[in-house]
Amino acid sequence: MAGKKKTANEGSSSRRTTQKANFEKAGVVVDQPIVETLEKNFMPYAMSVILSRAIPEIDGFKPSHRKLLYTMYKMGLLTGARTKSANVVGQTMRLNPHGDQAIYDTLVRLSRGNEALLHPYVDSKGNFGKAYSRDMDCAASRYTEVKLDPISAELFRDIDKDTVDFVDNYDNTMKEPTLFPVTFPTVLVNANVGIAVGMASAICPFNLAEVCEGAIALLKNPQADLTGILKAPDFPGGGFLIYQPEEMKKIYQTGRGSVRVRGRYSYDKSNNCIEITEIPPTATVEVIIDKVVDLIKAGKIREISDLRDETDLSGLKLTIDLKRGIDPDKLMQKLFRMTPLEDAFFCNFNILIGGAPRVIGVYDIYNEWIAFRQESVRRRVYFDLQKRREKLHLLRGLQCILVDIDKAVRIVRETQREEDVVPNLMVGFGIDQIQADYVAEIRLRHLNREYILERTKETENLEQEIADMEDIVSNKDRIRDIMIRELKEVAKKYGKPRKTMILFEEQQALAEEEEEIPDYPVHLFFTREGYFKKITPQSLRMSGEHKLKEGDAIAQTVESTNNAELLFFTDKCQVYKSRACEFEDTKTSVMGDYLPARLGMDEGELPVYMAVTGGEFPGYMVFVYENGKIAKVEMKSYATKTRRKKLLAAYSDKAPLTAALYLPQDSDLVLTSSGGRVLVLDTGELQPKATRDTQGVAVMSLKKNAVVAKAELLRPEQFENPQRYRPKSFPTQGSLLRPEDVEEQLSLMPEPGK
């Protein structure tokens, strides 16, 4: 006893010592390498958010969606009456312990009442808010009721036949599926947006019938072209999608890109008002109203007398009362340009494939889903095959008994103990224990001729079914046939007409409104790093030095007007078109607009030259390449009937570009090679081309490893005698600078902005 008491005292003393040490260390800052902090704290958090929260998987669901829908399935809500949402939320916490409000928010978005999905998975009753409204909140979970929508049956079909893997929930009390054995590509049918750590996902929805047709086409021909089948995204809010073939092709191949959607409106002539009934998926009614009000206060819109939200149970409705004599179509074109009534949905098809995030295009999504679905169908058929094999095994044991029923009866009657019946039958007929158990349970009334004949016929049918299933399991073509049949059934049963109409670029040319755009003199500044400023002469006179990014400098300075057309040529042989009036007047004390972000340029793309021209696009663009060639392209080649913002193949990519120059009229150019040779030529000697990406003509012959290092307009008095550097024919090597011209060059200071 004394020994035990001493041990207890020692333990108590040790605890007091530890507590004292911990108390003394309280508030002490311990240095820890940042790498160790990231590895121990940040990286596990990032992986959890990416893999278990924000990024959807190939079945089209995030873990929170899957846990909620599976709980509703296990509650029997696929059929029968609705139940309170609070009941579903509480049951879901057995799988998803992140709090009832987070679960209810997920339920709201999946519901039919919220109108966030093209094909909702939850049939709802009550107020679930609206996806197109920022301020319309949903009712509490105790007031609303839900059940699974009929289309959800396609999510769970044969889920109990080992079609997908199951894992333990967080406390190991029940199982949950890792994926749903979806019978159609749900990942493409309903929108899914998520923000993880260091990455995000934004998947736009497509029409269900078109998605199924696309899957069928790829199952029949893996090289099929989907552009004629899967036409474009289809958003639940409707509207008009401005179709851009190159952008859609990019989305289908890479999974990145953007689609522009504008609202739908109608004009009520009797009340002289515009009724907007559909808006882009990225906008809300409140945001649109706030923007219009701001424009009215700023005096940029004067055609509107009243604006109100008349949304009711029949759906969205935004009414704009017009002043007398206003053209509604012109006003709407103006609103499309200046408000979120026309907005872009930026696609980023980031999906978890095999536990790793991948940004893939539509074609790759189809291929991954087809591979996943093929395995699900194969596992389902194999499950049914095993069940039939087990049943056939029992019937074959029964056949052995039915050959001599009297013997079986005698064995049972002569067995004294019940537990010996099965072993005696096994010995008497040479069958295994499973077969003997089955035989021993047969009722006496079934020992007749009719029963025997039915079991014999059933055995024959089972043998045929087993042979057929074995062929399916080993034959991918037959599995594809099953998938095609199921896809056709889904498209026929749940397919709906498109909600978002397709508007081709030729149909959506914006109305010209020069009379409404104030025209006044401006100075345009373009920097080497891609910044742009528009400054009025008065503001420029009152300003100081330009504020620029460190290491940046003014590359071009142009005096023009507010209505000037701007073309920004980039290092990826593309040109982005804009107008000076689309940029706000600014001052030298600000850095200006960053063009890659403002114009939506591709990742890593930078502007290299700014061309400022008039509305009729007079003159030429001259491109000088390092290989000594010059391309003279008519400026009209960059004019389009529609107000397209981006043109591909703006110039040739066959050789690196030395300089791009816009010439309203033919002028003299000076080309300088890296070897020090100079060439002066009149661009009038070059034949203009209408093809933008023409490779040009050879003008300067270059020695090995030499390039055209510089190209500029001939300045007055740049050379004592420019004729010395003009060749009689092309191509030519050019001439070395004469001593007097070398001195002249050294004495000339570079002009600002050149």
Mean pLDDT confidence for 593-619: 90
Q: Which of 143, 252, 531, 620 is catalytic?
A: 143
pLDDT value at residue 20: 61
What residues have CB less than 8 Å from 70, skipping those under 6 apart?
A: 95, 156, 176, 177, 180
pLDDT value at residue 505: 62
Mean pLDDT confidence for 39-62: 88
pLDDT value at residue 22: 61
**pLDDT-derived band at 64, boundaries 50, 70, 90:** very high
Q: Provide the percentage of residues in the chain whose pLDDT is more than 70.
A: 93
Strand partners, 267: 274
Closest CA to 368 of 349, 381, 393, 389: 349
Q: Which amino acid is at 232?
A: A
Stretch among 57-66, 359-368, 464-473, 592-601 having the lowest mean pLDDT: 592-601
For the segment 479-521, what is each residue's pLDDT rounded down to a tens digit?
999 999 999 999 999 999 999 999 886 555 444 444 456 788 9
Closest CA to 157 of 182, 134, 175, 130: 182
Most confident of 165-169, 426-430, 535-539: 165-169
Reduce the DSSP state of residue 138 to 3 states and report it: coil
Is pLDDT of 663 > 70?
yes
Is pLDDT of 754 > 80?
no
pLDDT value at residue 443: 79
Mean pLDDT confidence for 615-627: 91
Cis peptide before 177 (omega within 30 of 0): no
More confidently predicted of 178 and 33: 178
pLDDT value at residue 544: 83
Stretch among 170-184, 419-433, 718-732 having the lowest mean pLDDT: 718-732
Reduce the DSSP state of residue 181 to 3 states and report it: coil
Most confident of 53-67, 589-603, 711-725: 53-67
Stretch among 258-272, 629-643, 740-754 having the lowest mean pLDDT: 740-754
**pLDDT-derived band at 541, boundaries 50, 70, 90:** confident
pTM above 0.95, yes or no: no
For the segment 519-529, what is each residue's pLDDT rounded down to a tens digit?
889 999 999 99
pLDDT value at residue 15: 61
Sign of the alpha-carbon dihedral angle for 660, 666, 668, 671: positive
pLDDT, mean over the chain:
88
With DSSP H G I counted as helix, E B as strand and the rest as coil, what are the percentages for the chain, rounded to 5?
40, 20, 40
For the segment 182-236, what is each residue's pLDDT rounded down to a tens digit?
999 999 999 999 998 889 999 999 999 999 999 999 999 999 999 889 999 999 9
Which domains are assigned to the chain? 61-181 (3.90.199.10), 264-340 (3.30.1360.40), 378-493 (1.10.268.10), 514-747 (2.120.10.90)
pLDDT value at residue 438: 87
**pLDDT-derived band at 18, boundaries 50, 70, 90:** low
Contacts made by residues 299-308, CB under 8 angstroms, sequence distance 24+: 300/338, 301/331, 301/334, 301/335, 301/338, 303/331, 303/334, 304/331
Mean pLDDT confidence for 37-55: 85
- Which H/E stretch holds residue 659? strand 657-663
Mean pLDDT confidence for 665-686: 90
pLDDT value at residue 60: 93
Mean pLDDT confidence for 67-92: 95
User: Any catalytic annotation for residue 143?
Assistant: yes
Stretch among 568-577, 659-668, 734-743 having the lowest mean pLDDT: 734-743
For the segment 95-138, what is each residue's pLDDT rounded down to a tens digit?
988 889 999 999 999 999 999 999 999 999 999 999 999 888 89
pLDDT value at residue 189: 96
Is pLDDT of 631 > 50?
yes
Stretch among 84-93, 397-406, 582-591 having the lowest mean pLDDT: 397-406
Using DSSP bridges, classify how beta strands 304-309 and 240-243 pair: parallel, antiparallel or unpaired: unpaired
Closest CA to 506 of 300, 243, 294: 243
More confidently predicted of 180 and 13: 180
Is pLDDT of 680 > 70?
yes
Closest CA to 57 of 157, 203, 166: 203
For residue 379 the two structure tokens come to 């596992």
Q: How far apart are CA 510 and CA 503, in angstroms?
A: 13
pLDDT value at residue 749: 44
Buried b (16+ CB within 10 A) or exposed e, 534-555: bbbeebeeeeeebebeeeeebb
